[in-house]
């Protein structure tokens, strides 16, 4: 390992590769800030540039920098505009945006930057130590385990439901799962629930739905509630994290760096499910008083998903480099770039081309440090987006919302869907229905169905549930995660009743 680290350090610290890391991080950060242009889009655009370089180490360093730079920067639009353009930063909006509304935009961006840096750096350390061993663990996960893992992800909806809202959250999750079934099915490549509309054959776009659930209702609310516009939300203060706040989020960052990394190792899980599970776990571990702050501007609620999604991005390189299995759409594009550069990822990559494997790992340490150095001084200027009068901010939000939806599918029909979903989401928000569970159901619905269909085919029915102990264990965990909040609420109610009777 020591020899590999020295080779990686020597390769990553060459002037050309250092410039590539800096360039990749800069491009990724600014692209991540724009809703609608996620890492997949920009990496696809950058592949011809990377391949033309001819050097596999430099090409992968550039593309990896763009990848974690986009996730790093994706939190900015989530926090400031409630417009998550990247699936992995949806959970960051739940507490980041309320903090921005409370005049703590600077602090929210600082927490996001520090959490992202810590998650990415700890993830890189774990990647360096565990990559060879974890490649064999990842092979133990088959379709049945991935189906159970998606169910665990869906069980996190209890964490996004307020007091007495678990039933509403479940209804919204089911609605999200229903929306995920539109388009071609997992078992048969035939269109379903498309109502004869050709543009629906590939299903609803994630960007369109994310913008409709969060950004568009925000713009509509600013129009419907003029008194909100008059408030001064643009004052930038409290950029620093206090000692007490640092003590509060330090355990969260530690736990979610490890949990996020291991979720990222599993092909198909990725940053999105890591961020949702991170948020759910930390809410369940918090005290009752802290739980009530979640969704209203909790620093733990922001630190958890930001740490988990960056650690998961690093973890996703384990199956990519050691098994040649892409863990997400983005790493699938990276796999294509590696093959185009005549690099064969797999168990022999560390032996045959150690400079490629170790250079990527060392560039992650350098890249995360560069991202922190780039982002921290810019926070006061980025946060000034909120100093724009709300009257002018409405068309700004609408422009990025419409642009993001159109670029996502390059289809004008998406704009009609965006408006339709946006109006429905606004009505649901007025009725006090949580919108996050709907998006979770939609994101995980496709993967859930695909893996369930494969498992049913392999085991001739639902026998896989009890035939595979790991699957059964994960499903039991999901049931516990759903029941636990209701049990806690009931116990607290009985406790209060007992105190009242005692009086």
**pLDDT tens for residues 94-106?**
888 898 888 888 8
Cβ–Cβ < 8 Å for 92, 78: yes
* Chain-centroid distance, C-alpha 319: 18
pLDDT at 251: 92
pLDDT interval class at 267 (50, 70, 90): low
- Decide: residue 164, CB within 10 A, 0-12 exposed, 13-18 middle, 19+ buried: exposed
- Structure token digits, residue 125: 């350390």
Name which residue leads in pLDDT, 476 or 158: 476
The pLDDT confidence band at residue 390, using thresholds 50, 70 and 90, is low
pLDDT at 25 over 70: yes
Residue 234 is predicted with a pLDDT of 46
pLDDT winner (highest mean) among 42-46, 149-153, 209-213, 294-298: 294-298
**What is the DSSP track for 363-379?**
HHHHHHHHHHHHHHHHH
Query: Mean pLDDT over residues 89-116, rounded?
Result: 86
pLDDT-derived band at 501 (thresholds 50, 70, 90) equals low
Orientation angle between helical segments 354-382 and 105-138, nearest 10 degrees: 160
Q: What is the pTM of this model?
A: 0.71
pLDDT digits (tens, 9 = 90+) for 300-320: 999 999 999 888 888 887 777
- Please work out, in degrees rounded to the nearest 5, the angle formed at the alpha carbon of residue 401 by the alpha carbons of 205 and 399: 145
pLDDT at 346: 67
Of 210 and 132, more confident: 210
pLDDT at 229: 37
Q: Would you list the domain boundaries of the chain?
A: 2-487
pLDDT tier for residue 474 given thresholds of 50, 70 and 90: confident
pLDDT in tens, 170-196: 888 889 889 888 887 766 677 788 887
Least confident window among 141-155, 279-293, 389-403: 389-403
For residue 323, pLDDT over 90 is answered with no
For 2-30, what is the mean pLDDT? 81
What per-residue confidence (pLDDT) applies to 15? 86
Residues 484, 156: Cα–Cα separation, whole Å: 11
Under 8 Å between Cβ of 317 and 266: no
pLDDT band with cut points at 50, 70 and 90 for residue 228: very low
Residues in the chain: 503
DSSP states of 124-177 as a string? Answer: HHHHHHHHHHHHHHHTT--HHHHHHHHHHHHHGGGGGS-TT-HHHHHHHHHHHH
Q: Which residues pair with residue 184 across a beta bridge?
A: 191
Residue 257 pLDDT grade (very low, low, confident, very high; cuts 50, 70, 90) = very high
Comparing CA positions, the residue from 28, 435, 441, 109 lying closest to residue 302 is: 109
Arithmetic mean of pLDDT over the chain: 78
Highest mean pLDDT among 214-218, 344-348, 407-411: 214-218
As beta bridge partners, residue 183 has 192
3-state secondary structure of 328: coil
pLDDT computed for residue 186 by the predictor: 62
Mean pLDDT score, 238-266: 86
| pLDDT value for 156 | 64
**What's the rounded mean pLDDT across residues 473-487?**
78
Q: What is the pLDDT of residue 233?
A: 45
258 — pLDDT class (breaks 50, 70, 90): very high
252 — pLDDT class (breaks 50, 70, 90): very high
Find the mean pLDDT for residues 459-478: 81
Residues 143-162 have a mean pLDDT of 72
Name the residue with higher pLDDT: 324 or 60.
60
Q: Greater confidence, 407 or 311?
A: 311
Q: What is the pLDDT of residue 484?
A: 72
Confidence of residue 489 (pLDDT cuts 50, 70, 90): low
pLDDT at 162 over 80: no
Does position 232 have pLDDT exceeding 50, yes or no? no
Confidence of residue 132 (pLDDT cuts 50, 70, 90): low
pLDDT for residue 324:
67
Between 158 and 418, the higher pLDDT residue = 418
Of 338, 340, 341, the closest CA to residue 322 belongs to 338
Q: Which residue has the higher pLDDT, 401 or 91?
A: 91
Task: Give per-residue pLDDT as tens, 195-212.
Answer: 877 777 778 877 788 778
């Amino acid at each position: 390992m020591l020899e590999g680290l020295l080779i990686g350090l020597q390769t990553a610290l060459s002037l050309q590769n250092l410039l590539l890391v800096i360039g990749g991080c800069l491009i990724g950060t600014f692209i991540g800030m724009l809703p609608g242009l996620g890492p997949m889009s920009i990496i696809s655009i950058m592949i011809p540039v990377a391949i033309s370089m001819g050097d596999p180490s430099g090409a992968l360093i550039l593309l990896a920098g763009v990848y974690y730079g986009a996730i790093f920067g994706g939190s900015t639009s989530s926090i400031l505009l409630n417009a998550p353009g990247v699936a992995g930063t949806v959970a960051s909006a739940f507490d980041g945006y309320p903090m921005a509304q409370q005049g703590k935009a600077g602090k929210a961006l600082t927490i996001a930057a520090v959490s992202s840096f810590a998650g990415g750096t700890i993830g890189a350390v774990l990647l360096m130590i565990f990559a060879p061993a974890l490649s064999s663990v990842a092979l133990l996960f088959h379709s049945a385990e991935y189906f159970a893992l998606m169910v665990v992800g869906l069980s996190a909806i209890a964490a996004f439901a307020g007091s007495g809202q678990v039933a509403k959250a479940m209804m919204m999750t089911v609605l999200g799962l229903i929306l995920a079934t539109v388009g071609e099915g997992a078992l048969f490549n035939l269109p379903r629930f498309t109502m004869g509309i050709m543009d629906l054959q590939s299903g609803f776009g994630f960007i369109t739905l994310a913008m409709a659930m969060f950004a568009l209702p925000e713009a509509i609310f600013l129009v419907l509630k003029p008194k909100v516009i008059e408030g001064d939300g643009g004052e930038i203060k409290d950029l620093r994290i206090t000692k007490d706040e640092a003590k509060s989020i330090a355990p969260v960052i530690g736990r979610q760096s490890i949990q996020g990394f291991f979720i990222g190792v599993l092909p198909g899980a990725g940053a999105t499910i890591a961020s949702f599970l991170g948020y759910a776990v930390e809410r369940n571990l918090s005290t009752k008083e802290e739980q009530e702050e979640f969704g209203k501007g909790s620093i733990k609620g922001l630190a958890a998903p930001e740490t988990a999604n960056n650690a998961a991005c690093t973890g996703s390189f384990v199956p990519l480099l050691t098994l040649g299995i892409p863990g997400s759409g983005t790493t699938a594009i990276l796999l294509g770039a590696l093959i185009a550069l005549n690099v064969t990822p797999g168990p022999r990559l560390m032996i045959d081309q150690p400079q490629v494997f170790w250079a990527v790992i060392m560039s992650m340490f350098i890249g995360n440090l560069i991202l922190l150095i780039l982002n921290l001084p810019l926070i006061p200027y980025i946060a000034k987006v909120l100093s724009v009068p709300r009257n002018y901010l409405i068309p700004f939000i609408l422009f990025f919302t419409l642009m993001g939806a159109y670029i996502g599918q390059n289809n004008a029909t998406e704009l009609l869907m965006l408006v339709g979903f946006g109006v429905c989401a606004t009505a649901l928000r007025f009725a006090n229905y949580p919108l996050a569970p709907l998006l979770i159901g939609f994101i995980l619905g496709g993967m859930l169905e695909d893996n369930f269909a494969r498992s049913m085919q392999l085991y001739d029915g639902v026998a896989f549930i009890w035939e595979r102990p790991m699957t059964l264990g994960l499903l039991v965990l999901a049931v516990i995660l759903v029941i636990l909040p209701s049990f806690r609420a009931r116990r607290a109610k009985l406790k209060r009743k007992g105190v009242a009777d005692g009086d």
